[in-house]
Structure 1
Amino acid sequence: MQWTCSIRTGAETRPDALALTFKGQRWTYRELDAEVGRWVTALQSRGVTAGDRVALLATNHAAVAQLFFALGRLGAVLAPLNARLTRAELQPLLEDVAPKLTLRLAGVADRFFPEAQTLESFMDGADTTSSYCVPLRPESPRVILFTSGTTGRPKGAVLTEGNFRASARCSEANLGAHPSPRWLGTLPLFHVGGLAMLTRTAYDGGCLVLRERFDAEDTNRAIDEEGVSHASFVATTLERVLDARKDRPVPATFRLALIGGGPVPAPLLARARAAGILSLQTYGLTEACSQVTTEHPDEADGRTAGRPLPGLEVRILGPEGTPVGPGKEGDIEVRGPTVMAGYLNRPDATSETVRDGWLRTKDVGMLDERGRLKVLSRRTDLIVRGGENIYPAELEAVLASHPAVQEVAVVGVPDARWGEVPVAFVATRDGAPLPEDLGAWCRESLAGFKVPARFLAIEALPRNAMGKVERTVLRQRVA
């Protein structure tokens, strides 16, 4: 099995249909096909060929979408990196990728990577459109997305063309077909959720209404005036959308919203439904190319994350490592065509995470009698702040390097605005007062969203008989 570029296919089958919008600009499939061809010309002039990797530091922009499809036509791979990270955080990721090129959007990472060429200057002189387009196979790598584990160095999940196409196909089977879906693209294109929307609209012949970032007022304008049919939110952004529109009903053109990032309060779901926003809770992860389970539109009640998407399997393993029945807690495992090819340069981590086709998520949950998933714990210690994953081990390593810190532990605590925020418990050397520069110390090495919201002094961290920090005790102490 092999496929041609989905934008090229769209240019042949529906050339005048809208494919992409961004900041007042609009591209039909014919126009986007030509623009992607210009990117192919520019990439070929820099010697990019099949198998090469291109690292990218950028916020959402039409050029990112065009670059993604152009690399696919060359058989090359995109490695989009989180533009909010510091140079210290990005350097090991770039070492893993070993890119042929490192590009950035103008104004992004100027301070950290001034040597990287901007996307704007990269296209200077690329006036001709190349028709070059290699066929893509299910196993063809398309992107490398870095996802931190609860311990150790971030790992690059390699997602393939087959992963993205299966994700789109399985999602449509659950949500129902749409003649021309318009997805609102507010999720970052360096996250799997953003890329899943980009590819899904292209495969389905729809349009990505791309935004640089989320803004509640702008989201409502897109829903009311631009015919947006689908969107993705987390609980906090859904609430901000409803607040901004004062619960005014959405037009009939808006079909549904996927809600990720954890459980949504029942009153908020009721508000959304009253405004005509069908909100479907979903569970997914990078290594499974976004969605794994999602509520079905006809049976959504907000109590679970829904059933596995058609074509995917989910099982729960108990303490003995064997599958358990409905209502029993255990480790969530996933199998199906959306599971990643593996971790870049990490065969041991790959074999540990994917066994006999089953992806070990390290999340904890249970299935109910109807086969719907309830997620109980996201990777044990993971903190999800406004949809951004924060791993305590990374913050602890930075704080532990402070000369006045003896030991430290970071836990997530509930927050009305962000869902969760990190709080750091710090034991100082010789019982000295808590240093006043801990926040500034963190900002030297960590993105702003990772910096703990509070620093609390503690004489010594509570530990169990095995010497492990008892994080539950720390959470209780915050409460």
Structure 2
Amino acid sequence: MNFTCPIREGASLWPEQEALTFAGRRWTYRALDAEVGRWVGALQSRGIRVGDRVASLATSHASSVFLFFALGRLGAVHAPLNARLTSAELAPLVEDISPRLTLALKALVDRLPNAEPLETWADAVEAPSSTCESLEEATPRVVLFTSGTTGRPKGAVITEGNFRASARCSAANLGAHPAPRWLGTLPLFHVGGLAMMTRTAYDGGCLVLHDRFEPESVNQAIDAEGVSHASFVATTLERVLDTRGDRPMPETFRLALIGGGPVPAPLLARARAARLLALQTYGLTEACSQVTTERPTEADGRTAGPALPGLEVRIVSPEGEVLGPGREGDIEVRGPTVMAGYLNRPDATREALRDGWLRTRDMGMLDERGRLTVLSRRTDLIVRGGENLYPAEIETVIAAHPAVQEVAVVGVADARWGEVPVAFVVLRSGQALPEDLDGWCRRSLAGFKVPARFLPIDALPRNAMGKVERTVLRQRA
């Protein structure tokens, strides 16, 4: 099947409908189509052709939207790099990409050799190009680098078909919406941000793009700009609720997808009281964002939900045996959202993709209803005296304590048990480390799962993708 640019389609079907807002500016589909066309002309003037790769370094910015869709009209590939990385971290990624062109926001241009300013790059072109090549499902659209928590980052190649399928599967779960307005606070160098951007365009909606997460701006967008959908993690969800004083959401706001791990039950209760439907999810870059999501009519916050319609999730043992409900093992995913492979890494691709299944390297289990509970990454597993301990299970219990803001549990070496769990706890403002944390855990966890130590910490260390750096915590413990 062949596809055309969704912005071009939108300009034909609903030209005056709002497509993008950013920093006080607004673009209808007609205006956005013309702007993308200008960028196509600028790219053509530099000789960018089918299959060429263009690297960019930017926080979320309207220019990144123009660039993404313009490259699609030429059949070229976008490689958005993480704006939080240092020059030293970026260098090997650029080497892997071998870009024909490198662009960066002016504030970041010094981090990339030969980078040209992104914001003004197409200003010299006045007339939009009419070029709009059709794309096949297998056409590569982006190269997105994994976070590299277990080694050098790998560039996952995500195709047009992957993005289309991700939008289709998500819509089948969430239900139709005539013109969704997605709040874009996830960065556009992240698969979640790109999936949100493309999903909105395919659905004829509007991306309300912010350059960063600020709870005051989020609430203003929800209350005054008709935002219908958003994506948060537990900490940002809590900040949104804190800032609005748990004021109920307007009727225009439909739901929020919650990623990044389990959400404490008290926080979900707060969200429900504020008329905010929060759906827990599980996803990864290699599967183009969402894999499982709670169903809106069945959300109870206990799992990450079942596989999205059109996708399959299974649990397998280290020996490859497919495991039944309630049994713990490796999470594998199959379906049209799974990446084409890793750029220039055939061995890694063969290791990750086996017989059509993506081996996620995460561990979990399914219940009788096919709902997924994510237990840990394989590298985060704690083995205490032969017993497998999953940080997510322990963290969920500790995070429910009223004095705890957030928590991370890691395994540290122990002469007697091999490993024992240690909990790093970020406390709420004005709170001291509770003396009853051990007893709190023992009410819900077997004794061998209770952390050997509870250590207060001002903030959890995170890598450039926002994931907790457990290696740093292990060293500190």
Using the TM superposition, give the Cα deviation of residue 366 of structure 1 relative to its aligned residue in structure 2, in angstroms. 0.3
Aligned to 1:343: 342
Question: What are the residue-to-residue correspondences of 1:288-307 with 2, within 5 Å?
Answer: 288-307=287-306
Residue 18 in 1 paired to residue 49 in 2? no
Separation of aligned partners in 2, 1:108 and 1:242: 32
Aligned to 1:415: 426
Residue 282 in 1 paired to residue 293 in 2? no
**TM-score in terms of structure 1 length:** 0.81
Using the TM superposition, give the Cα deviation of residue 297 of structure 1 relative to its aligned residue in structure 2, in angstroms. 0.2
Aligned to 1:438: none
Separation of aligned partners in 2, 1:379 and 1:64: 34
Using the TM superposition, give the Cα deviation of residue 140 of structure 1 relative to its aligned residue in structure 2, in angstroms. 0.4
Aligned to 1:92: 92
Question: What are the residue-to-residue correspondences of 1:398-409 with 2, within 5 Å?
Answer: none
CA pair 296-43 structure 1, distance change in 2 beyond 3 A: same
Aligned to 2:79: 79
The one-letter amino acid paired with 1:12 is S
The one-character-per-residue Cα deviations of 1:431-463 (angstroms, maximum 9, x if unpaired) are xxxxxxxxxxx99xx86978979989xxxxxxx
The one-letter amino acid paired with 1:142 is R
CA pair 447-352 structure 1, distance change in 2 beyond 3 A: closer
Using the TM superposition, give the Cα deviation of residue 318 of structure 1 relative to its aligned residue in structure 2, in angstroms. 1.8
Separation of aligned partners in 1, 2:221 and 2:39: 28
Separation of aligned partners in 2, 1:296 and 1:174: 6
Contact 1:284 1:293 in 2 (8 A): yes
Using the TM superposition, give the Cα deviation of residue 109 of structure 1 relative to its aligned residue in structure 2, in angstroms. 4.2
Task: Give the CA RMSD over aligned residues.
Answer: 2.6
Using the TM superposition, give the Cα deviation of residue 121 of structure 1 relative to its aligned residue in structure 2, in angstroms. 3.4
Give the secondary-structure state (helix, strand or coil) at the position aligned to 2:169. Answer: helix
CA pair 36-310 structure 1, distance change in 2 beyond 3 A: same
Aligned to 2:418: none
Contact 1:18 1:27 in 2 (8 A): yes
CA pair 313-412 structure 1, distance change in 2 beyond 3 A: farther
Contact 2:149 2:469 in 1 (8 A): no
The one-character-per-residue Cα deviations of 1:185-238 (angstroms, maximum 9, x if unpaired) are 000000000000000000001000000000001000000000000000000000
Separation of aligned partners in 2, 1:448 and 1:47: 32
Separation of aligned partners in 1, 2:293 and 2:344: 31
Aligned to 2:386: none
Separation of aligned partners in 1, 2:211 and 2:149: 29
The one-character-per-residue Cα deviations of 1:95-152 (angstroms, maximum 9, x if unpaired) are 0000000000121243x23631001332131101001010010000000000044433
The one-letter amino acid paired with 2:5 is C
Give the secondary-structure state (helix, strand or coil) at the position aligned to 1:380. Answer: helix
Separation of aligned partners in 1, 2:358 and 2:115: 35
Q: Bigger shift: 374-383 or 65-74?
A: 374-383
Give the secondary-structure state (helix, strand or coil) at the position aligned to 2:10. Answer: helix
The one-character-per-residue Cα deviations of 1:48-80 (angstroms, maximum 9, x if unpaired) are 011000000000111100100000000000000
**TM-score in terms of structure 2 length:** 0.82
Separation of aligned partners in 2, 1:77 and 1:450: 26
Aligned to 1:426: none
The one-character-per-residue Cα deviations of 1:367-424 (angstroms, maximum 9, x if unpaired) are 001000000003433999xxxxx9x9xxxxxxxxxxxxxxxxxx9845358xxxxxxx
The one-letter amino acid paired with 2:202 is Y
Separation of aligned partners in 2, 1:204 and 1:4: 14
Separation of aligned partners in 1, 2:112 and 2:148: 25
Aligned to 2:158: 159
Contact 1:86 1:447 in 2 (8 A): no
Aligned to 1:52: 52
Give the secondary-structure state (helix, strand or coil) at the position aligned to 2:379. Answer: coil
Separation of aligned partners in 1, 2:72 and 2:159: 10
Contact 1:334 1:360 in 2 (8 A): yes
The one-character-per-residue Cα deviations of 1:290-328 (angstroms, maximum 9, x if unpaired) are 000000000000000000000000000023311110000
CA pair 12-450 structure 1, distance change in 2 beyond 3 A: closer
CA pair 74-116 structure 1, distance change in 2 beyond 3 A: same
Aligned to 1:262: 261
Percent identity over paired residues:
73
Structure 2's unaligned 5+ residue stretches are 382-390, 393-407, 411-421, 429-460
Contact 2:109 2:116 in 1 (8 A): no
Using the TM superposition, give the Cα deviation of residue 354 of structure 1 relative to its aligned residue in structure 2, in angstroms. 0.4
The one-letter amino acid paired with 1:9 is E
Aligned to 1:378: 377
The one-letter amino acid paired with 1:172 is A
Structure 1's unaligned 5+ residue stretches are 385-389, 393-410, 418-441, 457-470
Aligned to 2:233: 234
Aligned to 2:397: none
The one-letter amino acid paired with 1:103 is L
Aligned to 1:361: 360
Give the secondary-structure state (helix, strand or coil) at the position aligned to 1:308. Answer: coil
Aligned to 1:203: 202
Aligned to 2:404: none
Separation of aligned partners in 1, 2:299 and 2:464: 36
The one-letter amino acid paired with 2:230 is A
CA pair 219-334 structure 1, distance change in 2 beyond 3 A: same
The one-letter amino acid paired with 1:371 is G
The one-letter amino acid paired with 2:97 is V
Contact 1:150 1:379 in 2 (8 A): no
Aligned to 1:400: none
Separation of aligned partners in 2, 1:447 and 1:16: 38
CA pair 114-312 structure 1, distance change in 2 beyond 3 A: same
The one-letter amino acid paired with 2:426 is D
The one-letter amino acid paired with 1:341 is A
Contact 2:80 2:188 in 1 (8 A): yes
Separation of aligned partners in 1, 2:150 and 2:255: 36
Question: What are the residue-to-residue correspondences of 1:313-332 with 2, within 5 Å?
Answer: 313-332=312-331
